[in-house]
Amino acid sequence: MLELAFKDVENVVISDLEQKLPSPSYTLQTLKHLKKENPDTTFFLCLGEDNLVIFKKWYRSSEILEMTTLIVAERPGFDSSEIPSEILEKTIFVEHKPVKASSTQIRESVTDSGYILPKNVADYIDEHGLYGKEVE
C-alpha cells in the first residue's frame, strides 16, 4: 500500500527491512541496521506527538536518542509540555495542519472516511478485503 501511495513521489524509498530483521521489531534495531549499512547518513525518526508523550517507555529510548533526532508532528489532544528535557533537546516539531484522526479510525472507515487517503490505496483495501472490508 505504501508503494501505491508514494508511486508518484520522487526520492521516496519503501523498504521491507523490518520484515527481514529478527522479531520482535524494535525501532532501535532498525536504526542500528540502517546506521551500519549507511554510516555517513543522518537519520531522523518521524512520529506523532501521541508517541512523543510515551517515548520514554519505548524499548531503550535513550539509545534511540543517541542515534537520531525526532521529527514530531503535533496531534490534537496531546500535551508535550511535560516531556523530559533530554527528549525535547533531540526533537524538532514540524508545522502542519493536524488531522484529528488515528490510523485505527482510518482503517475502520476507509471507504467512507473523508480522510486523506489516496484513491488507489482505498481501492486496494476494498479489493483485498483489508481492515474488515468484505470482498464482493
| Superfamily of domain covering 2-97 | HUPs (3.40.50.620)
Spatial contact of 74 and 98, defined as CB atoms under 8 Å apart: yes
Over residues 95-114, the mean pLDDT reads: 65
How does residue 136 score in pLDDT terms, banded at 50, 70 and 90?
low
Distance CA 25, CA 77 (A): 28
**Average pLDDT along the chain:** 86
pLDDT-wise least confident of 7-11, 80-84, 125-129: 125-129
Q: Where in the chain is the domain with CATH 3.40.50.620?
A: 2-97
By percentage, how much of the chain surpasses pLDDT 90? 57
H or E stretch at 108 = helix 103-108
Q: Which residues of 57-96 are buried (b: 16+ CB within 10 A; e: fewer)?
A: ebeebeebbeebebebbbbeeeebeebeeebeebbeeeee
DSSP 35-59: HHH-TT---EEEEEHHHHHTGGGST
Q: Phi and psi of 94, rounded to 5°?
A: -100, 145
Q: Which of 64-68, 104-108, 113-117 has the highest mean pLDDT?
A: 64-68
Q: Quote the pTM value.
A: 0.76
Asked if omega into 84 is within 30° of 0 (cis), the reply is no
Examine the pLDDT at 103 and tell me if it is beyond 90. Answer: no
Cell of residue 104, nine digits: 485505527
Q: How far is CA 75 from the centre of its chain?
A: 13
By percentage, how much of the chain surpasses pLDDT 70? 83
Give the residue from 17, 24, 20, 64 showing the smallest Cα distance to 44.
64
User: Could you report the per-residue pLDDT of 20-76, keeping only the tens digit for each?
Assistant: 999 998 999 999 999 999 999 999 999 999 899 999 999 999 999 999 999 999 887
How does residue 115 score in pLDDT terms, banded at 50, 70 and 90?
low
Over residues 92-119, the mean pLDDT reads: 69
